Structure 1
Amino acid sequence: MVSSTSPNTAYSFLSLGDSYTIGESVGEADRWSVQLAGLLRKGGMDVGNPDIIARTGWTTSELQDAIKASGNTKTYDLVSLLIGVNNQYRGQSLATYRTGFRELLQTAVRYAKGKPNRVFVLSIPDWGQSPFAEGRDRQKVGAEIDAFNAVAQEECRAAGIAYVDITPLSRQYAKDTSHFASDGLHYSGKQMKLWAEQALPVVKKLLQ
């Protein structure tokens, strides 16, 4: 676990996920959740930089196992979740994803002091539009990402958890290489800033 929350801030923040949360191939300041915390502070909300439990390549089950292994028993005022691209990439079923995602929502709520209204989810970006996906069936990848996101949105709705759709942003700027990290697969701080801005009004409401 990456820990950076200051004990003196009014709101603590935990960010759960995979490469998109840990910010593979970019600096710590470029991570979307770190940028979001900064935007919240600019808006007058005293939110610390997030503790992060995330690693490149993790599926839902691997994230859940890592959370258990972390031994993190803290609770937080705000919890984010962005997970599922590796389930899709490895060809796992939607049913497997639904089960794992539902369990992670429950875990996130526990970390949020039992409050679903302090948890929010970001949709899975469409890596099929990345430079890395050159030569692959981009349309198939996009359709599968949409199907996984539909499951996540359904589960969020059922659990009363906020859902932030960032997938269109990952498609809108697909031809702009400045929105990608050097590996051509993961996203740059520039793209992740857009995610943070998309989440900002939602999260402001959650903290009010």
Structure 2
Amino acid sequence: MKDHAAPAPVNTPNAGMPFLALGDSYTIGEGVPPAERWPVQLARLSQTQPVPLAAPDIIARTGWTTAELQSAIDNSDNRKTYGLVSLLIGVNNQYRGQGLGKYHTEFRELLRTAVRFAGGRAGRVVVLSIPDWGQAPFAQGQDRARIGSEIDAFNAVAQQECQLAGVAYVDITSLSRAASGDARQFASDGLHYSGHQMEQWAQRVLPVAQTRLQTP
């Protein structure tokens, strides 16, 4: 997963519940226009829901691992409190061959950070599972079964930590796997995802987020 010099954070505030999206290329929307990023699509979809979201503040960059995301958050000096915080991170830990133990420790710290951004309300944090890039055209000729197995292991760690913390966990890995063989689901680089695929992520997150937002 190449490092990309996209600015972070990206801020597009408007009326609605404040929303912060944390992550890597899948959150910043590598290869798609800003309007097609999944957090932006989620905010747009929420406009017809009981609790609309503001356009998200985004702290994300292509290539970031858990440690790099945490460092960027610290450097951002963002002290705002949000009604909803999303977290999607870990593909670059897997891609770089970093161990599960390291991911486990750093993901747990990121969860704590996300809960702090949500004003201490774990119920206002939503974690998305890591998509399976092994099913992307970019992975042709690679060991797709191994990639998928490793991503499953990383996701299991994240899901366990979410359960312990009382944080919502949303599976989008299955959506990324169902995209295999459909060029419309991928960005032009054959690795990242199109706005069409990310719309499906937003639609899956929407009811979970709305349930959490309507809970005191």
Report the TM-score when normalising by structure 1: 0.98
Match of residue 11 from structure 1: 17
Q: How big is the shift at 1:44?
A: 4.2
Match of 1:141 among 128, 147, 153: 147
CA deviation string 1:155-207 (max 9, x = no partner): 00000000000000000111101000000000000000000011111001011
CA deviation string 1:120-167 (max 9, x = no partner): 000000000000001000000000000000000000000000000000
Match of 1:166 among 147, 162, 172: 172
- 1:130 paired to 2:136: yes
Match of 1:65 among 66, 71, 86: 71
Kept in 1, the 8 Å contact 2:114–2:125? The answer is yes
Partners of 2:210 and 2:16 lie apart in 1 by 14
Kept in 1, the 8 Å contact 2:21–2:27? The answer is yes
Partners of 2:172 and 2:41 lie apart in 1 by 15
Mark the runs of 5 or more structure 1 residues left unpaired by the alignment: none
Q: What secondary structure sits across from 1:163 in the alignment?
A: strand
Q: How many residues align?
A: 206
Identity %: 64
Mark the runs of 5 or more structure 2 residues left unpaired by the alignment: 1-8
Q: How big is the shift at 1:42?
A: 2.2
Partners of 1:18 and 1:79 lie apart in 2 by 14
Partners of 2:106 and 2:205 lie apart in 1 by 23
Match of residue 107 from structure 1: 113
Match of 2:92 among 62, 83, 86: 86
Report the TM-score when normalising by structure 2: 0.94
Kept in 1, the 8 Å contact 2:49–2:210? The answer is no
Match of 1:21 among 20, 27, 37: 27
Match of residue 104 from structure 2: 98
Task: Kindly provide the amino acid, as one letter, of the partner of residue 21 in structure 2.
Answer: S
CA deviation string 1:96-143 (max 9, x = no partner): 000000000000000001100000000000000000001000000000
